[in-house]
Amino acid sequence: MNRESELILVINPGSTSTKAALFCGSRKISSVSLEHTAEELAQYSDVLAQKDFRKEAVLGYLQQEGVLLTDLAAIAARCGAVVPLESRAYLVNERLIEAVKNSDAPHPANLAPIIAYEFCCEAGGDLTAYIYDGVSCMGTPEEIYQITGIEDFEKPFYTHVLNSKAVAWEQARREGAGPEDRNYIVAHLGGGITVNLLQGGRIIDFVGDDEGAFSPERSGGLPVRRLVDLCYSGKYTREEMQKLLKGRGGFMSYLGTNDSREVERRIEDGDEKARLIYEAMALQISKDIASLTAVVSGKVDRIILTGGMAHSKALIEKIRMRVGFLAPIAVLAGTFEMEALAGGILRVLRGEEEYRFL
């Protein structure tokens, strides 16, 4: 293989998995999703400590495919929350890596540009890596959406930009329309849950994973005065509190697992606590969806349910029962992140899109 083949490696670490794929141009050659148990990840003190573990997983995949780093034309890396950025592609450079490492919202996705940068260095300097539509790549939101209730305390605009925009484009294509002509609410149902309002092809408002529904491993929104009391109680360190909110919240806190399939199995076996917690999550997701309809005065063309948990017919029906009256519901289960990452960087390689620098 050689660089003229437009061979792109995509790296996408998630809360409970590490995904990697190889694309030749727009054609996916192969992909892998390596699942990580809560026990495997618990041995690491924080997200950044998982870097070598995740990197070895991607290297193992490349070796299995018989691909060398020098065979690659580029690397497309998913990216979590860094500083506010515009949408589309950014070159992975030292400044971006520094911002990733100092993120105030650590997530495994932030390991992707770090791993990609190390691969570029190991390849001898000719290989380049990019992020595309990272979690904080939303541009500048309208001021009204930044207001929180405390001056100088703005809402952080971190959400599932990549997949939400990708499924919106796909749904518009299926409808024979352009996303700029549609108002969509996209609920990303994964290890973290966000609900996003897209108007004119861009996310204008959303309910983030720290303000809305709890998820398999995140606490979601909590009563803030009680949360402040807990933070100052002396029971937890700052790091432990962060982990409780993101990693050991949600299903993990109540049921000791971050696997929604395991929770469904428990429900089938008659576990009433599992049933209650599952129902509560579905209810909270539905409330988040309903809340965003007010932003566009109820003018929503479609509600799109996506992410890994959208494979669950039981969860989808619970949500449909509560919000189906608001707009038609489309289910695009799983994610389109790998295709969106590869497609964005392919356009960069072909000169169809320009990349930015941090």
Per DSSP, the residues of 89-131 read EEE--HHHHHHHHT-SS--GGGHHHHHHHHHHHHTTS---EEE
Look at residue 173 and tell me if it is in a domain.
yes
The token pair that represents 285 in the structure block: 């997701």
Whether residue 105 is found in the same domain as residue 221: no
Whether residue 92 is found in the same domain as residue 222: no
Whether residue 107 is found in the same domain as residue 191: no
4 pLDDT more than 60: no
Handedness of CA 152, 160, 83, 99 (dihedral sign): positive
Ranges 33-37, 213-217, 320-324: which has the least confidence = 33-37
Look at residue 54 and tell me if it is in a domain.
yes
Whether residue 176 is found in the same domain as residue 307: yes
Look at residue 356 and tell me if it is in a domain.
no
Spell out the residues 6+ positions from residue 215 whose beta carbon is closer than 8 angstroms to its own. Answer: 189, 190, 191, 192, 193, 209, 249, 250, 251, 281
The token pair that represents 293 in the structure block: 């309809």
Q: How confident is the model at residue 108 (pLDDT cuts 50, 70, 90)?
A: confident
Phi and psi, residue 117, nearest 5°: -65, -40
162 pLDDT more than 80: yes
Q: How confident is the model at residue 3 (pLDDT cuts 50, 70, 90)?
A: very low
Q: Higher confidence at residue 79 or residue 15?
A: 79
Whether residue 133 is found in the same domain as residue 266: no
Look at residue 272 and tell me if it is in a domain.
yes
- The answer to whether 8 touches 71, Cβ cutoff 8 Å, is no
Centre a 10 Å sphere on the Cβ of residue 86 and count the other Cβ atoms it contains: 13
Distance of CA 189 to the CA centre of its chain: 9
Whether residue 116 is found in the same domain as residue 173: no
Q: Which domain holds residue 127?
A: 3-137+337-349
145 pLDDT more than 60: yes
Whether residue 21 is found in the same domain as residue 91: yes
Whether residue 208 is found in the same domain as residue 79: no
Q: Give the global pTM.
A: 0.84
pLDDT in tens, 43-56: 888 888 889 999 99
Q: How many domains does the chain have?
A: 2
Q: What CATH number does the domain containing 296 carry? A: 3.30.420.40
How far apart, in whole angstroms, are the C-alpha atoms of residue 129 and residue 10? 10
Helix H or strand E encompassing 185: strand 183-189
Check residue 172 and give its pLDDT.
Answer: 94
Q: What average pLDDT does the structure give for the chain?
A: 91
Look at residue 145 and tell me if it is in a domain.
no
30 pLDDT more than 90: yes
Spell out the residues 6+ positions from residue 319 whose beta carbon is closer than 8 angstroms to its own. Answer: 187, 282, 285, 286, 289, 305, 329
Whether residue 304 is found in the same domain as residue 173: yes
Whether residue 215 is found in the same domain as residue 109: no
Whether residue 80 is found in the same domain as residue 199: no
Look at residue 218 and tell me if it is in a domain.
yes
- The answer to whether 38 touches 252, Cβ cutoff 8 Å, is yes
pLDDT in tens, 180-191: 899 999 999 998
How far apart, in whole angstroms, are the C-alpha atoms of residue 224 and residue 229? 9
Look at residue 311 and tell me if it is in a domain.
yes
Whether residue 105 is found in the same domain as residue 247: no
Look at residue 357 and tell me if it is in a domain.
no
